[in-house]
Amino acid sequence: MKMLKQRKTALCVSLWLVFVLLFATLAGCTGKRKQPTSGTPPTTRTIVDMTGRKVTVPGQVKKVFSTSPVGTIMVYTLAPERLAGWNYVLSPVEKRFILPKYQQLPNLGGWYAKNTGNNEEILKVHPDVIISMGYTDPTAVSQADRIQQQLGIPVVMVEGELKQLDRAYEFLGDLLGVQSRARELAAYCRLTVGEVESKAKEIPAEKRVRVYYAEGPKGLQTEGKGSRHIEVLDLVGGLNAADIPGKGGTGMSEVSLEQVLAWNPEVILTWNDAQGGPYRIITTDPKWRGIRAVKDGRVYQVPHSPFNWFDRPPSVNRLIGVKWLANLLYPDVFKYDIVKEAKEFYAKFYHYNLTDQEARDLLAHSRSK
């Protein structure tokens, strides 16, 4: 009998212990002892940008400003909802294919050309990160460090070279948390650049077209050898007719009409009328008539709107320009339907569905007749 009582007592103690342990477990599960979860994003994180700089950025980057249009355009194509502002006031031509809700973003200036960055206005919109995209030389790195120190906002540097745009998209995709979208755009970059570069290498030297890039309102500014502003021409296998060294930076070397006459290019590319380009001067002024490109009717405006397809700014807008210029110079090698290609590009990058007529309007004075 005594042994039976002892067993009952031991059983009660055991049941009591089980009840206590079960209660403690349930209390923990109901959140009374809240533990951090693995899905909670960190407050900050340290990344390595495309120049090798270590930068501490917010765990979630929700708003971005770029030091120049090069990065601004890229952010707009990738994640327009993250864009804090533009670098200048958009013209009506540029607004034409920009989504309405982003047309009125503030003009915050930037650190390019005349360096119009407005520190007070930038701080008012509270960007999480500033993007410096384009050149990554020591001067650009020094500028990025200076901006970061002045504003107290992390500055992340991104490579802007045409052949590196796929990597730039993937890098920004990780920074902004839009990896899937970034991979889609990066794939387009890789395919376009790789395909054109591969075919261009097969064009015989004697069939390569000599091209003069006529910049400025009179067409007497251009780019020398190795300039980033003619990367599209280099990629498609065209030859730069301007026999001058590259200027670097913003480019636009001054030349004389006598020099252009001596170079005698087979094709001339000009800024569009909306940019104040020299197309009408070159095609009507008797002083230009002796040049082969003018005599042969091979003077073309670079398509523009919302952004120039060839240059200025040298951002992702050049990707459609690669296909356009490749087809223009070597139609037997690059058999692109440019209207179709433009519609695909604008839908994929600019979030805009072009009509066939809009695409044809963009190509006025930009195709062989």
Q: What is the pLDDT of residue 308?
A: 96
Residues 185 and 239 occupy one common structural domain = no
- Which of 52, 47, 85 has the alpha carbon at shortest distance from 176? 47
In a domain, 301, yes or no: yes
Q: What is the C-alpha separation between 240 and 259, in angstroms, rounded?
A: 13
Residue 283 above 90 pLDDT? yes
Mean pLDDT of 66-83: 98
Residue 53 above 70 pLDDT? yes
Residues 189 and 213 occupy one common structural domain = no
In a domain, 24, yes or no: no
Residue 11 above 80 pLDDT? no
Average model confidence (pLDDT) across the chain: 90
Q: What is the pLDDT of residue 329?
A: 98
Share of the chain above pLDDT 90, in %: 83
Q: How many CB atoms sit inside 10 A of residue 101's CB? A: 9
CATH number reported for the structural domain that contains residue 270 in this entry: 3.40.50.1980
In a domain, 234, yes or no: yes
Residues 169 and 227 occupy one common structural domain = no
In a domain, 261, yes or no: yes
Comparing 332 with 36, the larger pLDDT belongs to 332
Q: How many CB atoms sit inside 10 A of residue 217's CB? A: 12
Q: What is the pLDDT of residue 116?
A: 75
48: phi > 0 → left, psi -120 to 50 → alpha, else beta; which?
beta
Mean pLDDT of 144-166: 97
Can you give the residue range of the structural domain that contains 65? 44-196
In a domain, 132, yes or no: yes
Q: What is the pLDDT of residue 250?
A: 84
In a domain, 2, yes or no: no
Residue 261 above 90 pLDDT? yes
Residues 252 and 337 occupy one common structural domain = yes
Residue 287 is classified by DSSP as G
**Coarse DSSP helix, strand, coil percentages of the chain, rounded to the nearest 5 percent:** 45, 15, 40
Residues 230 and 166 occupy one common structural domain = no
Q: What is the pLDDT of residue 30?
A: 39
Q: What is the pLDDT of residue 249?
A: 79
Residues 148 and 239 occupy one common structural domain = no
Residues 214 and 189 occupy one common structural domain = no
Which of 196, 227, 259 corresponds to the end of one domain? 196
Report how many domains make up the chain: 2
Residue 199 above 90 pLDDT? yes
Residue 5 above 60 pLDDT? no
pLDDT band at 206 (very low <50, low <70, confident <90, very high): very high
Which of 130, 165, 196 corresponds to the end of one domain? 196
Residue 128 above 50 pLDDT? yes
Residues 83 and 61 occupy one common structural domain = yes
Which of 196, 227, 243 corresponds to the end of one domain? 196
What tokens were used for 88?
A: 């200048």
In a domain, 31, yes or no: no
Q: What is the C-alpha separation between 337 and 339, in angstroms, rounded?
A: 6
Q: What angle do CA 253, 232, 229 make, to 5 degrees?
A: 25
Residues 161 and 250 occupy one common structural domain = no
Residues 57 and 164 occupy one common structural domain = yes
In a domain, 285, yes or no: yes
Residues 327 and 286 occupy one common structural domain = yes
Residues 168 and 252 occupy one common structural domain = no
